[in-house]
Amino acid sequence: MSFDSWDDFDMQTIAVRAGYEQTPEQENSEAIFPTSSFRYASAQQAADRFSGAEAGNVYSRYTNPTVRTFEQRLALMEGGEECVGTASGMSAILSTFMALCKSGDHVISSQSIFGTTKMLFSKYLSKFGVEVTFVSQTDISEWEFAVKENTKAFFLETPSNPLTEVADLRALSALAKQSDALLIVDNCFCTPVLQRPLELGADIVIHSATKFLDGQGRVIGGAVVGNEQVVGEEVRGFMRTCGPSMSPFNAWIFLKGLETLSVRMKAHCENALDLANWLESHPKVEKVFYPGLESHPQYELAQTQQSAGGGLVSFRVKGGKKEAWKVIDNTKMLSITANLGDVKTIITHSASTTHSRVPLEDRLKTGITDNLIRISVGLESVEDIKKDLARGLDLI
Ligand SMILES: *Cc1c(COP(=O)(O)O)cnc(C)c1O
């Protein structure tokens, strides 16, 4: 079935089947094409492929059938015209900004973004004369106040990492349009299964495919989704020339990940909500952050733009770093690592790992205190996850 004929299908079906054309071998599972280049029938065909006069594969830095299948499938799932697969989530963000911005441009970003993205903005984009202003994730008036004549883009993740703050995508999209800026949303935490930012007014969606899209913690990759002009031409043009390409093998892993994404997200959300409720009633827990809890400050908003709370739960233990580390170090099953979106439950001390390069003042301003623990809730039995956390909590 071709790319254009999926209008009448549900996302779950698209995730399993879209974007692939069977080879003459009649395989049922998608083939991997680990080839750097492609052969032409004649010198004329080679010339036509290079000039673009004839559509088709040229060189795997920018056209590879396995990567293309992943791109088409994810584009359909997000409801975008085009998708570009990249080597990592960070290179998806870098490619987007390098393609769209020039020296003298201004970007407004939520301050509650992934620590490495913050570094990319403040250390590298700034070197090329792109100025970034950081504002509150949830206070629209700060965005409004930050808009300048040369504001080119708004950037955010929702829910944010690790405090799961929810940004109002409809309101920010309206403000971005009014300001002639593009709204760019990193949809890593929700995936298109729970939230489709383009439908809510965003212009570009970014993914770290490394997380839930793979879903089993195996490979690194990323993606940019949006319209034909901005993503299909500009971001793809950057990719073609500058080369942060997705490998065919990784694209194949992500394809296999997409096939089970709906069922995994449902199970992650069920476990996460159960765990969040349990943590909220635990005497050694000071505060729980999860958009699916009624106590979450943007619970109502979350209900209107995401179909469930997601797989990430953060909480503050009573005490400080010592108590937080005690909980982490007394787990026997949970993985102490900094990835997320894996079937294996992951426990992370954000302040000393993912956000350790963020200056202390900024870290505290964004609520990433020393007693904060982030859990990427996996697909083990939730009762076993609770037991593993209780070991340390009961010692505090
Ligand atoms: C991990 C992550 C990234 C970076 O993705 P990589 O694949 O690790 O490069 C970007 N944004 C968010 C929200 C992430 O969690």
Is residue 211 within 6 Å of ligand 1 at its C-beta?
yes
pLDDT of residue 93: 98
88 CB contacts (<8 Å, ≥6 apart)? 208, 210, 220, 221, 222, 244
The residue length of the chain stands at: 396
303 CB contacts (<8 Å, ≥6 apart)? none
Which protein residue's CA is at the shortest distance from atom 2 of ligand 1? 208
Instruction: List Cα–Cα distances, 115 to 45, 338, 367, in angstroms.
Output: 47, 12, 13
pLDDT of residue 329: 98
End-to-end Cα separation, the chain, in angstroms: 58
pLDDT of residue 70: 98
pLDDT, tens only, 221-262: 999 999 999 999 999 999 999 999 999 999 999 999 999 999
Q: Beta partners for 157?
A: 186
Other beta carbons within 10 Å of 321? 15
**d(C-alpha 317, C-alpha 348), whole Å:** 13
| Atom number in ligand 1 closest to CA 209 | 7
Q: Beta partners for 204?
A: 184
pLDDT, tens only, 338-362: 999 999 999 999 999 988 888 888 8
pLDDT of residue 4: 62
| Atom number in ligand 1 closest to CA 340 | 15
Is residue 185 within 6 Å of ligand 1 at its C-beta?
no
pLDDT of residue 167: 98
Positions of CATH 3.90.1150.10 in the chain: 262-393
Q: What share of the chain is helix, strand, coil (3-state, %, to 5)?
A: 40, 15, 40
Is residue 88 within 6 Å of ligand 1 at its C-beta?
yes
CATH number of 11-259, picked from 3.40.640.10, 2.60.120.620, 3.40.50.2300, 1.10.3720.10: 3.40.640.10
pLDDT of residue 1: 46
Q: Which residues of the chain have pLDDT under 70?
A: 1-4
Query: Taking each helix axis from N to C terminus, what angle separates 65-78 and 248-259, rounded to the nearest 10 degrees?
Result: 40
**d(C-alpha 101, C-alpha 86), whole Å:** 18
Q: State the distance from the centre of ligand 1 to the C-alpha of 208, rounded, in angstroms.
A: 5
Calculate the average pLDDT of the chain.
96
Positions of CATH 3.40.640.10 in the chain: 11-259
Half-sphere exposure of 214 (CA within 13 A, CB side): 25
CATH node for 262-393: 3.90.1150.10
**231 contacts 82 by C-beta, under 8 angstroms:** yes
pLDDT of residue 115: 87
pLDDT, tens only, 257-309: 999 999 999 999 999 999 999 999 999 999 999 999 999 999 999 999 999 99
| Atom number in ligand 1 closest to CA 189 | 13
Q: Which two tokens stand for residue 378?
A: 């996996």
Which residue out of 188, 348, 350 has the highest number of ligand 1 atoms within 8 Å of its CB and is therefore the one to mutate?
Answer: 188
pLDDT of residue 3: 53
Task: Tell me the pairing of strands 182-186 and 151-157.
Answer: parallel
Cα dihedral across residues 383, 384, 387, 389: positive or negative = negative
